[in-house]
A and B are shown apart, each in its own frame.
Chain A
Amino acid sequence: MTDRLRAVRGHLVLAAVGLACVFPIYWMYATSLRRPGDVFATSLLPWPLSLGSYREAARELDVVGLLANTAVVAVGVAVGQLLVALLAAYAFAAYRFRGEKLLYLAMIGTWLIPFQVTMLPNYVLLYQAGLLNTLAGVILPQLLSGVAVLLLRSHMRSIPGELLEAARMDGRGSWGTLWTVVVPVLRPALAALAILLFVTAWNEYFWPAMVLQRSGAVIQLGIRGFLGTEGVRWGPLMAASGLACLPVFALYLVLQRQVVSAFVRSGLR
């Protein structure tokens, strides 16, 4: 009886925490679905429903275009970071070479150095390279993620050496071993890392704002437009934000199984 009581109490606490986490997201969608006049209403259910805020957001913003731009940036950054980190971590994990430690420390260092330190030099470099106001300009300086290198290297180190040796005996070169053995074995870790990198890149606000100040911006910059000097326009702001969140949810749904198993496993190890 006390066991059941304890279980019930535990579930109540968990439910409360879960609600607290989900509520802001719910409120965002609820607000975006109210009639434009009801935006400040506090009823829990948005009734009557209206797509007015979405229409307003779409009228002022090229939502599809912005989402596409953002997707290009986020996918570019995440995939780029993943590839770079994969190759770098593989080199660090599988080979001994001169200057290995130094190079590794330098890569981890990029993660420790605050963004504010590198932002101006990067900006100047982009200016000189003529990449300001381009998506490439947003992506390029972010391609190396120190934390991704660190994580992947330690995951690769945990692959038994005999497995890699077996691949060599079976005739794989190091490139073939990477793609046919290392990547499949690390798939859960790679999926979790991919989500992490993608979400970070998707939510990145400041750096795109700096590089893309004038032209075809990403969605986070578009959303900024509703935070005008004459007041915040909550309806379209919530609508655009809600739309901006959808791709992240979608990605999570697709990769959820992998992510959960990666986290569960890293907990067990």
Chain B
Amino acid sequence: MSRIRLSGLRKTYGDTVAVDGIDLDVADGEFLVLLGPSGCGKSTLLRMVAGLIEPTDGRVLVDDADVTAVPPRDRDLAMVFQSYALYPHLTVASNLGFPLRVRGERRAVVREKVAAVAAELGLTELLRRRPKELSGGQRQRVALGRALVREPGAFLMDEPLSNLDAKLRTSTRAGLSALHRRLRATVLYVTHDQVEAMTMADRVALLDGGRLVQVGTPAEVYDAPATTFVAGFLGSPPMNLLDVDAVVGPHGVRARAVGLDLSLPDAGPGPVPDAGSSRALVLGVRPEHLVVRAPDAPDAVLRGRVSAVENLGSEELARCVLGADGGPEVTVRGPRPLGVVPGREVGLAVDPARVHLFDPDSGRRLERRPGAVSPAPSSPAVEPALDDRPLARSLP
């Protein structure tokens, strides 16, 4: 299997920058997911790797060979398309055998390999049908089979599951993961679905506006989002982001906002500052890390009124307006029943170690060294700007 490296890859269409200088290394046998909202340049990036689009700038390397100027057929990469792109005039067998026949394989070899792939994907009964006589899931498997049959150096997949219904998507996801483990294949996989990314990826690369925002394991990007964009993109519902006034002292941070008063102690002795010159920060808490308390409980650092409760089956979501009416809204997620009633006052507690801080201007994560709990893993951000110094010293 191959290793893929991208260096300074850029693509512009007139004034539109679709992909803006991407450096990325996909290791041999790695399942790397490109994740981002619609229009962030995922497909453009993938097509440049495939060779279907010429980059404006930058290079694509496959196994250390510069293939930027090499046509797609000689890159030894196979692609699975969102629409599957099956040849409508050919039977399933001919579709599967197409790339082999193009490469001049002998008829017997083609038949043998097609039969093997068909058996693996459960398509043997369907070999004589045409694509329009197949269900969506079957088409998807044929598209996958057409890529598999070539035994390529790496697989490129552009939202291959987005046309399947929810149930089929779940099972196909598991199937793809199993296939990847068995083949130890290098996969570059594009999706805007965070569940696909979290469940299948070895590493996730988050894209926003053509730029790489963060690359890391699913746990890393979820637990230590590098920017407010990542924090607000991952998770459903995503992280609560609140504008706060913060007093930053040598041993911790005191954050205040409407209906919120929170002490974030750093490691080491010394008190969290109580007053002093303050600055604006963005505070982030995941909905599942907020705990419902009585409104007057001593550890209820957030106070507000419940505005709505949603039943998700095993869990419940509560939306709470902090402070007076018109204050910021936070979402709480927990096992059902949460024990809250719309319209009632509520208090919310949070473990300070679960609180994230971001710079309001750049949106970047600010590393803290939380006192009570072990340190958070260092951020694998593209630019490891903010190391693990105490926040006080990393601030200007």
Among residues 147 to 191 in chain A, which have CB atoms less than 8 Å away from a CB atom of chain B?
Answer: 160, 162-163, 165-173, 176, 181, 184-185, 187
Assess the B89–A172 pair: CB atoms within 8 A: no
* Secondary structure of the A contact surface, majority rule: helix
List which B73-99 residues lie within 8 A (CB) of chain A: 73, 77-79, 81-83, 85-90, 98-99
Tell me the complex Cα distance, A170–B77, Å.
Answer: 9
| Closest chain A residue, CB of each to CB of B103 | A171
- Extra contacts besides A168-B72, A170-B146, A184-B90 (9): CB < 8 Å: A160-B85, A165-B79, A165-B81, A166-B85, A166-B146, A169-B78, A170-B102, A184-B87, A184-B89
> Do A187 and B103 form a contact, CB below 8 Å, given A168-B52, A171-B73?
no
Would you call A163 and B85 a contact (CB within 8 A)? yes
Is there contact, CB below 8 Å, between B98 and A165? no
Residues of chain B having any CB pair with chain A under 8 Å: 47, 50, 52, 71-73, 77-79, 81-83, 85-90, 98-99, 102-103, 146, 150
Residue of A nearest to B78 (CB): A169
Query: How near does chain A come to B326, taking the closest CB pair, in angstroms?
Result: 48
**Given A169-B52, A172-B102: A185 and B89 interface contact (C-beta under 8 Å):** yes
| Residues of A that sit less than 8 Å from B by CB | 160, 162-163, 165-173, 176, 181, 184-185, 187
Residue contact B73 to A169, C-beta cutoff 8 Å: yes
Question: How distant is the Cα of A18 from the Cα of B277 in the complex, in angstroms?
Answer: 93
Asked whether A165 lies within 8 Å of B99 as measured between CB atoms, the reply is no
List B contacts of A172 (CB < 8 A): 73, 102
Q: Evaluate contact between B89 and A162: CB separation under 8 angstroms.
A: no
User: Within the complex, what minimum Cβ distance (angstroms) separates A162 from chain B?
Assistant: 4
Q: Are A185 and B102 in contact (CB under 8 A)?
A: no
Q: Answer whether A187 and B89 are a contact pair too, CB < 8 Å, given A170-B102, A176-B102.
A: yes
Known A181-B87, A185-B88, A185-B89; judge A168-B73 contact (CB<8 A): yes
| Contact between chains at B85 and A162 (CB < 8 Å) | yes
Which residues from B are CB-within-8-Å of A187?
Answer: 89
Closest CB of chain A to B55's CB: distance in Å? Answer: 16
CA distance A162 to B146 in the complex (A): 14
Residue on A nearest B79 in the bound complex, by CB: A169
A169-B83 contact given A176-B102, A187-B89, CB 8 Å threshold: no
CB of A168, distance to nearest CB on chain B (Å):
5
Closest A residue to B75 by beta carbon equals: A169
Which residues on the A side are within 8 Å of B77 (C-beta)?
169
Contact of B83 among A162, A173, A185 (CB under 8 A): A162
**Would you mind naming 12 contact pairs between A and B with Cβ atoms under 8 Å apart?**
A165-B47, A165-B52, A165-B81, A166-B79, A168-B73, A169-B52, A169-B77, A170-B98, A170-B102, A172-B73, A184-B87, A184-B90
Interface centre among A165, A172, A176 (most CB of B within 10 A): A165
On chain B, the residues within 8 Å of A184 by CB distance are 87, 89-90
CA distance A169 to B102 in the complex (A): 11
Per a CB cutoff under 8 Å, which of B50, B87, B89, B90 touches A169? B50
5 nearest A-B pairs in the assembled complex, by CB-CB distance:
A166-B85, A170-B99, A171-B73, A184-B89, A171-B102
Tell me the bound Cα distance from A165 to B51 in angstroms.
Answer: 10
Q: How far is the CA of A187 from the CA of B88 in the complex (A)?
A: 12
Provide the bound-state CA to CA distance between A168 and B79, in Å: 10
Taking CB atoms, residues of chain A closer than 8 Å to B89 are 184-185, 187
With most chain B CB atoms within 10 A of its CB, the pick from A163, A169, A185 is: A169
User: CB-nearest residue of chain B relative to A166?
Assistant: B85
Give the residues in chain B near A181, CB-CB below 8 Å.
Answer: 87
**Could you tell me the distance between the alpha carbons of A95 and B83 in the complex, rounded to whole angstroms?**
22
Closest to B53 in A: A165
- CB distance A165 to B102 under 8 Å? no
List A contacts of B73 (CB < 8 A): 168-173
CB-defined contacts of B98 to chain A, threshold 8 Å: 170
Inter-subunit contact A163/B87 (CB<8 Å): yes
Q: Which residues on A sit within 8 Å (CB–CB) of B83?
A: 160, 162
> Which residues from A are CB-within-8-Å of B87?
163, 166-167, 181, 184-185
Instruction: For residue B131, give the distance in angstroms from its CB to the closest CB of chain A.
Output: 11
Among B71, B86, B89, B146, residue most surrounded by chain A Cβ atoms (within 10 Å): B89
> How far is it, in angstroms, between the C-alpha of A104 and the C-alpha of B102 when the chains are bound?
32
Residues A162 and B88 in contact, CB atoms below 8 Å apart: no
Query: If the complex has contacts A169-B72, A170-B146, A187-B89, are A162 and B99 also in contact, measured as CB distance less than 8 A?
Result: no
Compute how far the CA of A166 lies from the CA of B85 in the bound complex, rounded to whole angstroms.
6
Neighbouring B residues of A170 by C-beta, 8 Å: 73, 98-99, 102, 146, 150
